[in-house]
Amino acid sequence: MSIYGKTLFFKRGITVTLFLNFACNLHCAYCTNRRFGEVKSKTMTLQQWKDRIGEITRTFKVKEFYITGGEPTLSPYFSELVDWLLYRGYHVLVFSNLYDVRAIEECQNFYRLKIWATCHSEDDPLRFNHAYQEIKDSYEVQVGEIDSPGKYQYFEYSRLMELEKDENLKVNSLRVAPDGALYLSCWELLKDKTCSKD
């Protein structure tokens, strides 16, 4: 087991997924984020991301941050945000198709940073393999595919404090859209009987 896994295993708190954007270099028909991307939400600035993360970490104890998109390396402040989170002691897991390896290489090479690289059917396997070979010796990179994240329910930020105090609601994770909107994964909503686990 890696150091990342060992230290994270004993760390308590929630997981926060940051959708930096819905832009992507690929257009996979099966993309689970396409329905969100169809809504043309604006993307926050780096400072707005820091402010939103600050609001969340003041309300919840956060175990780790997942950074995704779209393709997160397309964000102009990708490496700066990753470094900012690492500097504050968080574990960071980046989901990427390795489109911009240089953006990843600009991040601190730190044991709390892990890359989950996915090669999709719409991608060029030779391009992906070249990118993977370029960073595999410098960063902890795992290659694979992820399951569908399921359904989400949107809620206003003003409800965040209520969620923390609600004994009937178990909050294990939050999702933050590019415009700052907050979502909970559906199976974590114990009060909402209309949602069922996929």
What is the per-residue pLDDT across 86-134, written as a single tens digit (0 to 9) for each? 999 999 999 999 999 999 999 998 899 999 988 877 788 888 889 999 9
Model pLDDT, residue 79: 97
- DSSP assignment of the chain equals --HHHHHHHT--SEEEEEE--S--S---TT-TTHHHHTS-PPPPPHHHHHHHHHHHHHHS-EEEEEEESS-GGGSTTHHHHHHHHHHTT-EEEEEE--S-HHHHHTS---TTEEEEE---TTS-HHHHHHHHHHHTTTSEEEE--------EEEE-GGGHHHHHH-TT----EEEE-TTS-EEEEGGG-SS-TT----
Model pLDDT, residue 193: 32
Asked if the model's pLDDT at residue 2 lies above 50, the reply is no
Structural domain includes residue 34: yes
Residue span of the structural domain in which 152 resides:
3-188
Structural domain includes residue 195: no
Structural domain includes residue 18: yes
For the record, the structure tokens of 22 come out as 């819905």
Cα radius of gyration (the chain): 17
Q: How many domains does the chain have?
A: 1
For the record, the structure tokens of 105 come out as 């290489």
Structural domain includes residue 197: no
Structural domain includes residue 67: yes
Closest CA to 19 of 189, 174, 130: 174
What is the per-residue pLDDT across 152-194, written as a single tens digit (0 to 9) for each? 455 555 555 555 556 555 667 788 888 888 877 643 433 333 3
Percent of the chain with pLDDT over 70: 68
Asked if the model's pLDDT at residue 198 lies above 50, the reply is no
139 CB-near residues (< 8 Å, 6+ apart): 104, 107, 109, 113, 114, 115
Model pLDDT, residue 169: 55
What is the per-residue pLDDT across 5-47, written as a single tens digit (0 to 9) for each? 444 444 678 899 999 988 888 877 767 665 555 555 688 999 9
The answer to pTM > 0.75 is yes
**Cβ–Cβ under 8 Å, residues 19 and 176:** yes
The number of C-alpha atoms within 13 Å of 154 and in the hemisphere containing its C-beta is 6
Residue length of the chain: 198
Structural domain includes residue 196: no
